[in-house]
């Protein structure tokens, strides 16, 4: 069932004045400092006394720190972003204790993302004008799309990326709407490198290769950066040039994936994909760059939350399902199927395109799950704590199929 309301963030670019940029830069520095001090205090408490320090204790520490002479400057900025940083640290430790994440790391001025989160007490949003605490003038926001009617942001996050661009993200409730797809419409999706996705309908979507297209420009910018004297002004200028090329690549890639996934969700009630372990696949150094440029993990992530938003079904086929080696016509399983084999002929006389055949097998396995639920195990829940509509196909001969795939 489609959710009546979902939490949704709307991100816009804005152009701060010199005074606003200085104020936000100070806020970023204070947030980073408070986070690192709290992390150090919690680490020492556990190392020396085996004591777990919670958010309330670090919040009391922050009050003491701000009263000292050396740490009085955080009083010059809004206290809400610093409190939110302590809450984020608490979440990081909770994920660590539950073995969902690694131990929290200290924030670096050069490598960490500059951001500050403001709750409703730290900003004012009226008549389409956003004013943050400690600021007299509203932000100059470029409204690239309208907010939902009657939207009231619950949190506002201001950030600055590596290329020096400023963004504001507003989180609020929204009621997603998309025209209903035909009830029986379903598509199987097989991801690849040459063709980013191959659909069970036979359609292939070529991989734009955004990183490959800008590879020479990126390499030149990186060579120029390597020649600069460390710590100088010219090095910072060269670093910004590298960052601008990188964000150009990531922006174009994200835009392409958004359009592709929205189209798949709009046209189909059921989308079936394969569960790929991208983290393990990029260990192949010959394919790591191409796999990273394809961004399969981001493609799946977009399909997950968009299907949850718009009431579509997402079925995930187990990674060991032999989709490429199985004949979609007669069901014969081939012994070997090297990657260089793009077309093959089955004993039944059917000639298959490797990717189209895999997409059709993925669709058939997903529809079998949707029809009878046989051989299914639950997948992880969707972000936000809602029960997931995803299901995973578990073939009964997992060990045998795994051995054949490796062969």
Buried b / exposed e across 232-244, counting CB within 10 Å, b at 16+?
eeebeebbebbbb
**256 — phi, psi (to 5°)?**
-65, -45
User: At 205, is the secondary structure helix, strand, or coil?
Assistant: strand
Active-site amino acid positions: 190, 274, 355
33-39-43 Cα angle (round to 5): 145
Structure-block tokens of residue 80: 């809400």
d(CA 33, CA 86): 11
Distance CA 178, CA 181 (A): 9
142: three-class secondary structure by DSSP: strand
* Cα–Cα distance measured from residue 47 to residue 179, given in angstroms and rounded to the nearest whole number: 56
DSSP string covering 168-183, please? EEEEEEE----PPPPT
CA dist 96 → 59, 136, 158, 252, 384 (Å)? 20, 40, 26, 34, 19
How many angstroms separate the CA atoms of 395 and 56, rounded?
A: 48
Count of Cβ atoms closer than 10 Å to residue 109 Cβ? 10
Task: For the chain, state the CA radius of gyration.
Answer: 25
């Amino acid at each position: 069932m489609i959710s009546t309301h979902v939490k949704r963030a709307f991100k816009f670019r804005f152009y701060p004045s010199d005074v606003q940029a200085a104020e936000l830069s100070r806020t970023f520095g204070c947030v980073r400092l408070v986070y690192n001090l709290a992390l150090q205090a919690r680490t020492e408490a556990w190392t020396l006394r085996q004591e777990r320090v919670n958010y309330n204790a670090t919040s009391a520490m922050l009050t003491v720190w701000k009263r000292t002479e050396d740490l009085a400057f955080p009083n010059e900025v809004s206290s809400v972003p610093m409190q939110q940083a302590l809450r984020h640290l608490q979440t990081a430790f909770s994920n660590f204790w539950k073995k969902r994440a690694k131990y929290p790391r200290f924030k670096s001025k050069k490598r960490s993302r500059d951001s500050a989160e403001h709750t409703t007490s730290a900003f004012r949003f009226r008549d389409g004008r956003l004013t943050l605490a400690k600021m007299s003038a509203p932000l100059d926001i470029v409204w690239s799309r309208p907010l939902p009617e009657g939207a009231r942001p619950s949190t506002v996050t201001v950030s600055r990326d590596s290329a020096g661009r400023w963004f504001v993200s507003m989180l609020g409730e929204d009621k997603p709407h998309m025209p209903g797809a035909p009830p029986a419409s379903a598509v199987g999706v097989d991801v690849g490198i040459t063709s980013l996705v191959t659909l069970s309908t036979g359609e292939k979507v070529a991989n734009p290769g955004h990183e490959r297209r800008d590879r020479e420009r990126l390499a030149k910018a990186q060579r120029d950066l390597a020649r600069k004297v460390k710590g100088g002004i010219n090095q910072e200028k060269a670093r910004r040039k590298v960052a601008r090329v990188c964000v150009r690549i990531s922006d174009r890639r994200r835009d392409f994936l958004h359009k592709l996934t929205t189209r798949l969700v709009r046209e189909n009630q059921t989308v079936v994909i394969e569960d790929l372990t991208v983290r393990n696949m990029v260990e192949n150094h010959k394919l790591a760059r191409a796999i990273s440029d394809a961004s399969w993990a981001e493609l799946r992530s977009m399909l997950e939350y968009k299907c949850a938003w718009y009431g579509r079904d997402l079925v995930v086929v187990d990674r060991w399902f032999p989709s490429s080696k199985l004949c979609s016509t007669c069901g014969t399983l081939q012994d070997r199927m090297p990657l260089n084999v793009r077309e093959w002929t089955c004993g039944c006389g059917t000639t298959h395109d490797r990717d189209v055949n895999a997409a059709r097998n993925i669709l058939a396995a997903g529809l079998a799950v949707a029809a009878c639920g046989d051989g299914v195990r639950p997948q992880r829940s969707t972000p936000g704590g809602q029960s997931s509509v995803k299901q995973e196909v578990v073939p009964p001969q997992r060990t045998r199929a795994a051995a054949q795939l490796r062969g």
